[in-house]
Structure 1
């Protein structure tokens, strides 16, 4: 009986490590918390830029959530608009064309506390 206990314990430890690895899983781009995180990421991107023009979301390439958490991973494609970044309705602004046209693709990791709607940008990388 006793020799089986360490093997059983080892099996539970291995299973626990798998469950606690917190891997990202694909989610719907329409998931309510995810869409709010996308808006927050675009807002923070615009705040951080020295460009006077605002960027708006063009496409969500990846939408993922870390298992058992409220941390979201997203790959976003954004385009430079004709509106200034402090304008109210950036989503309805036209994109710039010609030599002023710019498109950027970024990966953001955003954590949210849904009960208080607190967002934290954990990481961002842009190309």
Structure 2
């Protein structure tokens, strides 16, 4: 029993360190990051009250929480001339002139790739 106490203490210390770890910068080409960005933009288009779809303009920040598959991303999105039901949003032109709209968003996405499951943990968007 005496040997189990240090092992248990070490396990508790490790778990608390993992749970409190911060996000670290990652490459925009990191495993699963592009899928998380695509999911976040799709979710934004589903819930944002606008008839036009938005598409990714720029990734401002790409991070992952250490020892997890939780990704934090800051994205700039631009409003297109296409409706949300259009299929080819990547090739859809952006709104121009007085109708032009852009938003800055921060998303936190948890991915379970073995289940093809995404969870949006947090999102905040501000119109520019």
Could you report, residue by residue, the CA deviation over 1:43-90 in whole angstroms, capped at 9, with x for unpaired residues?
000000121100000000000000111100000000000110111010
Q: Distance in 2 between matches of 1:104 and 1:30?
A: 23
Q: Distance in 2 between matches of 1:18 and 1:52?
A: 44
Q: Which residue of 2 is the match for residue 114 of structure 1?
A: 113
Q: Which residue of 1 is the match for residue 54 of structure 2?
A: 55
**C-alpha displacement at 1:21, in angstroms?**
2.2
Moved over 6 A (4+): none
Q: Distance in 1 between matches of 2:105 and 2:19?
A: 28
Calculate the TM-score normalised by the size of structure 2.
Answer: 0.84
Q: Which residue of 1 is the match for residue 99 of structure 2?
A: 100
Contact in 1 for aligned 2:61/2:74 (Cα 8 Å)? yes
**C-alpha displacement at 1:117, in angstroms?**
1.2
The 5 Å alignment of 1:27-42 reads: 27-42=26-41
Q: Which residue of 1 is the match for residue 90 of structure 2?
A: 91
**C-alpha displacement at 1:20, in angstroms?**
4.6
Q: Which residue of 1 is the match for residue 3 of structure 2?
A: none
**C-alpha displacement at 1:32, in angstroms?**
3.2
Q: Secondary structure at the match of 2:72?
A: strand
Q: Distance in 2 between matches of 1:83 and 1:62?
A: 26
Return 5+ residue gaps in structure 2 as ranges: 1-5
Q: Which residue of 2 is the match for residue 68 of structure 1?
A: 67
**Aligned pairs, number:** 119
Contact in 1 for aligned 2:106/2:125 (Cα 8 Å)? yes
Q: Distance in 1 between matches of 2:116 and 2:91?
A: 25
Q: Which residue of 2 is the match for residue 45 of structure 1?
A: 44
